[in-house]
Amino acid sequence: MTIAPPVVHTAPPAASSGGRSGSVTWMAWPAVVAFVAFGVVPLIGVLLLSFTSWNRLSQDIPFTGLDSWRTVLSDPQLPHALWVTFLIMALSWLFQTPISLLLGVFIAAQKRYRSVLAVLFFIPLLLSQAAISITYKALLDPNFGLGAGLGFEFLQQDWLGDSTLALCVVVFVVSWQFIPFHTLIYQGGIRQIPASMYEAAQIDGANRVRQFFSITLPQLKYTIITSSTLMVVGSLTFFDLIWVLTAGGPGDATRALAVDMYQRGFKADLMGPASAIAVILVLVGLALALGLRRLGGRDASASQLEGV
Amino acid sequence: MTTLMDKRDVSRTERAAPRKKRGLGLRHYNYLGGLGGWLWLIVVLLPIYWIVITSFKLQSDYYATNPLVPPSNPTLENYRFVLENDFVRYFVNSVIVTVGAVGPAVLVSFMAAYAIVRGSAASRFLRGVNGLFLMGLAIPLQAVIIPIYLLIIKLQMYDTLGAIILPSLAFAIPLSVLVLGNFVRDVPKELFESMRMDGATEWGTLWRLAFPLTRPALVTVTIYQGLTVWNGFILPLILTQTPEQRTLPLALWSFQGQYSVNIPAVLASVVLTTLPILTLYIIGRRQLLSGLTAGFSK
């Protein structure tokens, strides 16, 4: 899962005397070296590799210009992968946002049993995506899984064998894991809403539903944007889960961008095109993150600065 | 993964104070929310319940009995089978990778966070470093996995635990710096001043002042990054090859491929890989949850 670039807030200068800063600069070096070596250099590397036809079996990396890009951009697999990625993104947003929002409202209240629930809600976040996918794969088995146990006809389907259903399963399993996290974000956001607003609304005779739509939702605007950014940008990089659950199948029904990259690079030994896909992945992610930040508008950064 | 963008709620203390009053006027119980909350609890716990009971079933029972009914004659056979299949080795590998990556990552991040907070005002370099890590948050690991693979081969580290450790370490840094920086920034300037008056070096101040004051944040960041590395899948998948170097998530996956007919055994291995994390969560949950809400929505 990736992290969206956060709204940049300039750090308030804390150092006192200018001349002394030389003595702290070295402390930043180990972190910088480590991150440049495995974060920044590879980022440049992936762009360079997209202009080669490295096949990972040979030592030399032949430069082939735009060949990989031509291959990728003319391949009907790319629009498909983009479409699948978009579907997973949109559906998981639609599924996760209302549930996390409502659960957030629910557990934000000061009730003891609700904080116990919050603790249990968190469990899916602890499990590895490999473990979760393996579990759901077995759980959804048409003959021996949950469907057979509950006896509901509609649950006894070949969930992972049907294109549409497999995509829905991916969306559900992703949501199952990440709803707890977004619930936590919303819980935090809701607790920031001044109680006086609700009191005023109550005096005016607004009922609970009205309060939710007139106070809670508008006040959560930036929390919703934050949570959505994380969901949307994070969904670009779903790999573990899809790979273990469906391996991109059936056919290429769940072959999202990250899976497509892995297939091309590490299964088909075509590192050039795979790198081009990786570059596209980064660009789409950046565009989405910036776009969502724009949604927050000017007042977003204004209100974010006001507390600093 | 964080509410890093939520900078607006810094005035938490002043706003949080009157919060308790809320709810006084709400006389009726929130039935709808209650229903939804309990329903979601079932959605969360049902698969987990199913994993646990199935892992104690004989393979023949698995096919013959209702999946939701606990086994009539529970067996530890599946656990014995898994433990005999090198589970201990994978577990040790996972521990080495997690400790080897997260320990140094948190240490260097803490130093960098301290340097950024203390030195940014005077040093253009440190402001650049700050910007670098903010941008770094946006780089997804998956997108740079191919050059990392190439780099690891060139370093002749392919198929070693070090190959997993180095990138995991690097990718834990940006977020850690950001969170720890937010906490170091909260240390009152007067304390730094008085340390300086006493003739303490920056290194001494880092350890004797900033370290104890940011310890809760350090614990939270360590737990959080530990979880990420422990559950990591794509790095071991791409950077290792032999079973000797597998970590738990990868072992789980290959185990599933190998013994897909023996679902109870596969699920027993899921239980075994999850158990350490759940135990840690039960012990450190207060720290983790409060750290997540406080530190990450800072």
Q: What is the pLDDT of residues A148-167, one digit of tens each?
A: 777 677 777 788 888 888 99
Write the residue in B4, B121, B270 that is nearest to A15 by C-beta.
B121
Contact residues, chain A, for B189 at CB < 8 Å: 14, 16
Whether residues B121 and B267 fall in one domain: yes
**Best residue in B68, B144, B225 to probe A by mutation, most A CBs within 10 Å?**
B144
Which tokens go with A235? 């969904």
Could A123 and B281 be called an inter-chain contact, meaning their C-beta atoms sit closer than 8 Å?
yes
- Dihedrals phi, psi of A264, to nearest 5 degrees: -65, -45
pTM assigned to the model: 0.84
Whether residues B137 and B281 fall in one domain: yes
Contact residues, chain A, for B274 at CB < 8 Å: 126-128, 131
Residue A298 has pLDDT above 60, yes or no: no
Listing DSSP states for chain A in one string gives: ---PPPPP-PPPP----GGGGHHHHHHHHHHHHHHIIIIIHHHHHHHHHTTB---SSSS---B-TTHHHHHHHH-THHHHHHHHHHHHHHHHHHHHHHHHHHHHHHHHSS-HHHHHHHHHHTHHHHS-HHHHHHHHHHHT-TTTSHHHHHT-GGGSS-TTTSHHHHHHHHHHHHHHHHHHHHHHHHHHHHHTS-HHHHHHHHHTT--HHHHIIIIIHHHTHHHHHHHHHHHHHHHTT--HHHHHHTTT-STTTT--HHHHHHIIIIIS--HHHHHHHHHHHHHHHHHHHHHHHHHHHHHHHHHHHHT-
Whether residues B41 and B116 fall in one domain: no
Whether residues B202 and B260 fall in one domain: yes
State the pLDDT at residue A20.
47
Write the residue in B132, B148, B297 that is nearest to A188 by C-beta.
B297
Residue B41 has pLDDT above 50, yes or no: yes
Whether residues B50 and B86 fall in one domain: no
Q: Return mean pLDDT, chain A.
A: 83
How many residue contacts between A and B have a Cβ separation below 8 Å? 398
Distance CA A197, CA A204 (A): 11
Report if residue B61 sits inside a domain: no
- In this prediction, residue B98 has a pLDDT band, given cuts at 50, 70 and 90, of very high
Contact residues, chain A, for B106 at CB < 8 Å: none
**pLDDT digit string, tens, across residues A173-207:** 999 999 999 998 898 888 888 888 888 888 888 88
**Best residue in B146, B261, B289 to probe A by mutation, most A CBs within 10 Å?**
B146
Which tokens go with A297? 């508008």
**Best residue in A49, A134, A186 to probe B by mutation, most B CBs within 10 Å?**
A134
Whether residues B21 and B114 fall in one domain: no
State the pLDDT at residue B29.
62
- Residues A245-271: what's their mean pLDDT? 91
Whether residues B121 and B209 fall in one domain: yes
Report if residue B73 sits inside a domain: no
- The total number of structural domains in chain B stands at 2
Whether residues B24 and B97 fall in one domain: no
What is the per-residue burial (b if ≥16 Cβ within 10 Å, else e) of A226-239?
Answer: bbbbbbbbbbbbbb
Q: How do the domains of chain A map onto residue ranges?
A: 43-54+64-296
**pLDDT digit string, tens, across residues B55-97:** 998 888 887 778 888 888 888 988 998 898 888 999 999 999 9
Report if residue B64 sits inside a domain: no
Whether residues B109 and B255 fall in one domain: yes
Could B122 and A149 be called an inter-chain contact, meaning their C-beta atoms sit closer than 8 Å?
no
Report if residue B126 sits inside a domain: yes
Whether residues B159 and B280 fall in one domain: yes
Write the residue in B26, B131, B136 that is nearest to A35 by C-beta.
B136
Segments forming the whole domain that contains residue B187: 78-294
- Residues A43-70: what's their mean pLDDT? 89
Whether residues B15 and B112 fall in one domain: no
Distance (Å) from the alpha carbon of B150 to chain A's nearest alpha carbon: 8
State the pLDDT at residue B298.
46
Whether residues B159 and B225 fall in one domain: yes
Residue A5 has pLDDT above 70, yes or no: no
Decide which of 1.25.50.20, 1.10.3720.10, 3.50.50.60, 3.40.50.620 is the CATH code for A43-54+64-296: 1.10.3720.10
Contact residues, chain B, for A105 at CB < 8 Å: 33
Q: Return mean pLDDT, chain B.
A: 84
- Residues A212-229: what's their mean pLDDT? 88
